[in-house]
Amino acid sequence: MTIGIDASRANLLHKTGTEWYSFYLIKYLAVLDRNNKYILYVNKEPRAELVSAIKDNPNFSIKLLHWPFQSFWTLGRLTWEMLWRRPDVLFIPAHALPLFGPLRTVNTIHDIAFLREQNLYRSIKVKTDLMASRRLINFLVRILTLGRYRSESVDYLYWSTTFALHHAKRIIAVSEFTKREILDLYPKTPASQIAVIHNGYNNELFRPVNDPEKTKAVLDKYDLSSQFFLYTGRLEKKKNTATLVEAFALFREDHPQSEMKLVLIGDAGFGYDEVKYVIQEFNLEEEVQMPGWVDEEDLPYIFGAASAFIFPSKHEGFGIPVLQALACGLPTAVSDLPVLREIAGDAVLYFDQNDKREISRAMERIAGDEALRQELRAKGRERAQGFSWQKCAAETLALIESLK
């Protein structure tokens, strides 16, 4: 059987949840499966990281599909490929399906927060260098969708999710919570169409480390302090980053002698201006450190050096950074979201993500109670053992092969 995979996200340099999901699924499918043939479709020259992930499996090949525009590679170039050279099964690890594809298409939906909380998303116009091209694309989208959608990012999420639920043979939801959300908001979707396969984490990398010299080198590399609360993820509205900064300001107000800093790791997203404003408003320029993107191999040392991991997200489909923190033995406090209770169980502290005072109290409690910290460390490491990318890949392969 020939399995085609949209590897465009796995080929990105700066990866977050969906991109890491795509990358590690491909990596471990290459480890697990020596029977099927795989074609990885990419829209840019394959990076060394992706090439290395599949180099030991001769059944894997990479196909570069050139496309002259900045947008709609899936709807344009991948659709064209499916018209003429269609694999037996097509696996799309994110929302967007090509317009045409094999009957046996599998699509992963990570979350549908754009339906629940539209204010967390910025609708970006189609990327193009020419205004005339943008107008033409917008006109064509309006025609093809009978006037229901425009060529903007949020409209694309609406359309692509609906299209996937109508055309994919099977849908993978990354959590029971996401499956319930889909069935609630798209009630015509058969429950039997959706399989829940949890995300994983890199269990070969994220684990407790005891290497003071290497840890100091990593902290020096990013100019980080030795005492800090840690957050990783995009700095944006959806992740509630500005509220986390406000909560930290309250913590500093209650503990003026504390040397604790707040480290925010990740790229800027929608709402980053608000994060910067709050930092300036509370004069926290020296106390809040934002190193930007951090190499994955450095993260376990930063997790190991942190005092606690704080994850105040407003909406999640899974929450991979929480697993990474638990696996590293880092005491963790997170938003009281159903999906995070599904993933983290009793291995974390929970707080109301809309209450900055409650977040601040969680910081105070987790930083000041050593017995609690030891308890959370032990529970966190045990909880993380139930998840892995190897398990995710094996369950995904079983689902794909069930379509034979």
pLDDT in tens, 173-207: 999 999 999 999 999 999 999 999 999 999 999 99
Alpha helices in 111-240 (DSSP H): 113-116, 131-144, 153-167, 176-185, 212-221
- CATH number for the domain including 338? 3.40.50.2000
Residues contacting residue 47 through CB under 8 Å, at least 6 positions apart: 11, 13
Q: Is there a single domain that holds both residue 20 and residue 151?
A: yes
Cα–Cα distance for residue pair 82/91, rounded to 1 Å: 12
Please classify residue 221 by burial: count the beta carbons closer than 10 Å to its beta carbon, then call 0-12 exposed, 13-18 middle and 19+ buried. Answer: middle
Q: Are residues 332 and 258 in the same domain?
A: yes
In which band, very low, low, confident or very high, does the pLDDT at 231 lie, cut at 50, 70 and 90?
Answer: very high
Q: Please say if the pLDDT value at position 241 is more than 70.
A: yes
Percentage of the chain exceeding pLDDT 90: 75
Tell me: do 133 and 216 sit in the same domain: no
Q: What is the DSSP string of 361-404?
A: HHHHHHHH-HHHHHHHHHHHHHHHTT--HHHHHHHHHHHHHTT-
Are 353 and 338 within 8 A, CB to CB? no
pLDDT at 224: 94
C-beta of residue 179 within 8 angstroms of C-beta of residue 194: yes
For the cut 60, the answer to whether the pLDDT of residue 141 exceeds it is: no
Domain match, 19 and 116 both: yes
Residue 206 lies in a domain: no
pLDDT above 90: residue 155: no
Indicate the pLDDT class of residue 114, thresholds 50, 70 and 90. confident
What is the rounded average pLDDT of the residues 240-262?
A: 94
Q: Would you place residue 153 in the very low, low, confident or very high pLDDT band (cuts 50, 70, 90)?
A: very low
Whether 39 has a pLDDT exceeding 80, the answer reads yes
How confident is residue 346, by pLDDT bands cut at 50, 70 and 90? very high
Residue 74 lies in a domain: yes
Nearest-angstrom CA–CA distance, 163 and 165: 6
pLDDT of residue 130: 45
Classify residue 324: in a domain, yes or no: yes
CA 323 to chain centre: 12
**Residues 193 and 221 placed together within one structural domain of the fold:** no
Written as one letter, the residue type at 358 is E
365 plus 394 within the same structural domain: no
Query: How does the average pLDDT of the chain come out, rounded?
Result: 89
Bridge partners, 91 (sequence order): 5, 106
| Residue 146 in this model has a pLDDT that exceeds 90 | no
If asked whether residues 137 and 276 sit together in one domain, one would say: no
The secondary structure of residue 268, as a DSSP letter, is B
Contact assessment for residue 173 and residue 179, using Cβ atoms and an 8 Å cutoff:
yes
Nearest to 219 by CA among 289, 147, 275: 289
Using N-to-C axis directions, what is the helix angle for 389-401 and 17-32, rounded to 10°? 70
Domains in the chain: how many in total? 2
User: Hey, which bits of 202-314 come out as E strands?
Assistant: 228-232, 261-265, 288-292, 308-311
pLDDT score of 151: 45
| Section 44-62 average pLDDT | 96
C-alpha span between 201 and 323 (Å, rounded) = 7
Contact 18, 199 (CB under 8 A): no
Q: Are residues 294 and 311 in the same domain?
A: yes
* 218 and 287 within one domain: yes
Asked if 22 and 138 sit in the same domain, the reply is yes
Same domain, yes or no, for 153 and 248? no
Do 157 and 187 belong to one domain?
yes
Residue 205 lies in a domain: no
Percent of the chain with pLDDT over 70: 89
Task: Tokens 């020259």: give the residue.
Answer: 45
Contact status, residue 30 vs residue 50, Cβ threshold 8 Å: no
Range of the domain at 235: 212-384
Question: Quick one: 204 exposed, middle or buried, by C-beta within 10 A (0-12, 13-18, 19+)?
Answer: exposed
Average pLDDT over residues 232-247: 93
Question: Quick check: is 207 in a domain?
Answer: no
In a domain, residue 37? The reply is: yes
Structure tokens at 379: 């529970």
pLDDT tens for 292-340 read: 989 999 999 999 999 999 999 999 999 999 999 999 999 999 999 999 9
In a domain, 122, yes or no: yes
State pTM to two decimals.
0.89
Cβ atoms of residues 314 and 238 within 8 Å: yes
> Do the domain assignments include residue 336?
yes
